Structure 1
Amino acid sequence: MPVGAGSGLHYLVGPAIAFVALGLLALFMRWAFGSGHGRRPSPPATDDGLLTLVATLSRRETALALRAVLSDAGIRSTVRCPAPHRADVLVFPEDAARARSLATSFPG
């Protein structure tokens, strides 16, 4: 049924269409750019950048002790704790061979 120009209803049709269009646009934006609540979380990134993994230990304290041994040998290192009961020791690639030999002789 067409809305006649003489009725007062034709003033409501334009804004109603605009509000419906804005509502649909808002729903689309929420779907497209939402936080993803309820979706599976993405796996953690395993990119070590410039560093090389030389040892994985079960305790952070042991990893810090190995890091001290590496530091005494002049090797720069860092400790990463990606999960409970897991600590990774990382070094620069040029020091990786020496660090691995020290890590294998490490009592921890």
Structure 2
Amino acid sequence: MAPVAGLQYLVGPVIVFAVLAGLALFLRWAFGSGDRPRPPSDDGLLARVATTSSREAALALRAVLSDAEIRSTIRFPGPHRVEVLVFPEDAARARELAASFPAE
């Protein structure tokens, strides 16, 4: 009977390790940050008013919009592309300001 008792001490840690490995794989699958591209037309509740090629130009446009009391944010959909987004009710005024904004 001694070999059976020794086997119990080996089976327990193996089961614990298998459960933890399975949990780790599940969590990686569930919460992984995979490179899932967003659909190009999915702006959610925001409206796109401008697209620039540099972060600095987008931040400068955001400053102009902020001075006009228009809330805005930026998004980086790809390399060398920055989009300025605003709420739909401010989109018309924001587009006017963006059109008068000096080109890069």
Normalising by structure 1, we get a TM-score of: 0.61
Task: Choose the corresponding residue for 1:101, options 90, 96, 103.
Answer: 96
Alignment-derived partner of residue 61 in structure 1 = 56
Contact 1:75 1:95 in 2 (8 A): no
1:22 CA displacement = 2.0
1:23 CA displacement = 2.8
CA distance in 2, matches of 1:91, 1:54: 7
1:42 aligns with 2:43: no
**Does the C-alpha gap of structure 1 residues 79 and 87 become closer, same or farther in structure 2, counting only changes over 3 Å?**
farther
Partner-residue secondary structure (3-state), 2:2: coil
> How many residues are paired up?
99
Normalising by structure 2, we get a TM-score of: 0.63
Contact 2:73 2:86 in 1 (8 A): no
Task: Choose the corresponding residue for 1:29, options 23, 27, 34.
Answer: 23
Unaligned runs of 5+ in 1: 1-6
CA distance in 2, matches of 1:68, 1:16: 65
Counterpart residue identity of residue 43, structure 1: R
CA distance in 2, matches of 1:97, 1:48: 16
Higher helix share: 2
Q: What is the root-mean-square deviation in Å for CA atoms of aligned residues?
A: 3.3
What percentage of residue pairs aligned between the two structures are identical?
43
**Does the C-alpha gap of structure 1 residues 85 and 17 become closer, same or farther in structure 2, counting only changes over 3 Å?**
closer
Partner-residue secondary structure (3-state), 1:9: helix
CA distance in 2, matches of 1:19, 1:70: 61
